[in-house]
Structure 1
Amino acid sequence: MRPPEVMVTLRTLDLVAVPDMSPLDVEVAVGATAAVVAPPRPATAVARVVAGLAAPVTGRILVGGRDVTDLPPLRRRIGYVPAGGALLPHLTVGRNISYGQRRRRWVREVAESWAALLVDRLELAPTLGLRPHLLSEAQRFRVALARAMACLPEVLVVDLPTPIDGVRLPDLLDRAAPPDDPGVTVLLCSADEEVLAGVRTRVPVGDDSPPGPARPAVRS
């Protein structure tokens, strides 16, 4: 008897995000988490290419069987949590969370109720009127996660090069998953063992580019 076929949400085929990077082939099943294990430069490059913020050197990206390689970010149904959160400093937490929803018409019918549930689950209600510079690093991460998940993406890409005190990613991902859902499909980009703890599917990505020029020592 053949085992049941596992549905794959995200697949990359011979994906090269930046020159001198080894090709990336990864499959992430529905509701699963896989990690691209790479130093910050190639890890961020992979995250940005999958999210649609940069074009790949070569390769393809598929989401739910759709080839999204040449689609703009708004049509990929991929949420993105960049390193540092990249929150808009002039907007409050509430407006940062709703920012992406206003640009995606297909989620407007459920936007308000789902965003409110996210705010509650991620314990962000006391911060809604604050600007990002008044938040802790962990709070900024939760806001960035809420902003990405508010648009009900099929895939979530998280670029997390170093641990954040107070952030337990598996717990937050469980809280951010829609009700009655098998869970969010996650591509985590990091090389830090603490960040990667509990992630069984790991795909190492080499960076063969030469190191940058050495800086002269500064004498005091």
Structure 2
Amino acid sequence: MVTLRTHQLVAVPDLPPLDIDVPAGAMVALVAPPWLGTAVARVVVGLAAPVAGRVLVGDRDVTDLPPLRRRTGYVPAGGALLPHLTVARNITYGQCRQQRVREVADDWARALIQRLELAPALGLRPHLLSDAQRFRVALARAMACLPEVLVVDLPAALDGIHLAELIDRLALPKTPGLAVLLCSADDVVLAEAPRRFRGEVGGEVGP
């Protein structure tokens, strides 16, 4: 597993640059209002270009790479599930078309379903799920492509969701774990991340 770092990253014009360092196996929170957290998350995963700065996954500079080549999983605010697909198809939709994933995709998808307790909902469509279920489906979809790092945009707490516990369920044996960047401004959500960076000013505010 690898680290996630940003160097002098400016996701939104007229804001100070942001340096974030997320070690493998750690969860680091970006403390920011929802609009800014979402903007940073989208830049880190490659859905938007930065105003300035770089994004690094391990020793790779991924700033100019498309999302699928970054090996970064993303749980967007609200989950952004595809409404016309069942839970099962939403999860497998996230499997990247890479040889290293195809070889283990089916077994890993089954493991995700069990670990996130989604088996009873596999035939349902998103509108029939609770908010917490939709979040777990979005998390399974993000993890289905075996990402090296994970970005979670969770502006507000969800009943029944304890992010640190869910991430622990997804840890692969004999690995240091994922580097997880959590974007939120909710105190309940932020309580799960021991390290935090303040997005408004671009500086670390301590553990």
Calculate the TM-score normalised by the size of structure 1: 0.88
Asked if the contact 1:23–1:205 (Cα under 8 Å) also holds between the matched residues in 2, the reply is: no
Q: Which has the larger radius of gyration?
A: 1
Superposition pairs for residues 36-75 of structure 1, below 5 Å?
36-75=30-69
Give CA-to-partner distance per residue, 1:74-95, whole Å, 9 cap, x none: 0000000000000000110001
Match 1:122 to one of 116, 131, 148: 116
Which amino acid in the other structure matches residue 118 of structure 1?
L
Which amino acid in the other structure matches residue 77 of structure 2?
A
Task: Please give the alpha-carbon distance, in whole angstroms, between the structure 1 residues aligned to 2:12 and 2:60.
Answer: 23
Shift in Å, 1:19: 0.8
Note the aligned Cα RMSD (angstroms).
1.5
SS in 1 for 2:3: strand
Superposition pairs for residues 1-20 of structure 1, below 5 Å?
9-20=3-14
Task: Please give the alpha-carbon distance, in whole angstroms, between the structure 2 residues aligned to 1:187 and 1:131.
Answer: 28
Superposition pairs for residues 49-198 of structure 1, below 5 Å?
49-101=43-95, 103-198=97-192
Task: Please give the alpha-carbon distance, in whole angstroms, between the structure 2 residues aligned to 1:188 and 1:83.
Answer: 11
* Bigger mean CA deviation after superposition, 177-186 or 122-131: 177-186
Give aligned pairs, total. Answer: 202
Asked if the contact 1:32–1:184 (Cα under 8 Å) also holds between the matched residues in 2, the reply is: yes
Task: Please give the alpha-carbon distance, in whole angstroms, between the structure 2 residues aligned to 1:8 and 1:99.
Answer: 24
Gaps of 5+ in 1: 1-6, 208-220
Asked if the contact 1:157–1:186 (Cα under 8 Å) also holds between the matched residues in 2, the reply is: yes
Gaps of 5+ in 2: 202-207
Task: Please give the alpha-carbon distance, in whole angstroms, between the structure 1 residues aligned to 2:24 and 2:152.
Answer: 16
Between the aligned residues of both structures, percent identity stands at 71
Match 2:20 to one of 23, 26, 32: 26
Give CA-to-partner distance per residue, 1:123-161, whole Å, 9 cap, x none: 000011110101000000000000001111010000000
Shift in Å, 1:8: 5.8
Which amino acid in the other structure matches residue 85 of structure 1?
G
Which amino acid in the other structure matches residue 180 of structure 2?
V
Which amino acid in the other structure matches residue 14 of structure 2?
D
1:4 paired residue number: none
Asked if the contact 1:77–1:154 (Cα under 8 Å) also holds between the matched residues in 2, the reply is: yes
Give CA-to-partner distance per residue, 1:154-206, whole Å, 9 cap, x none: 10000000000110011111112223322221000011110001312111011
Task: Please give the alpha-carbon distance, in whole angstroms, between the structure 1 residues aligned to 2:96 and 2:67.
Answer: 14
Calculate the TM-score normalised by the size of structure 2: 0.94
Which amino acid in the other structure matches residue 145 of structure 1?
L
SS in 1 for 2:5: strand
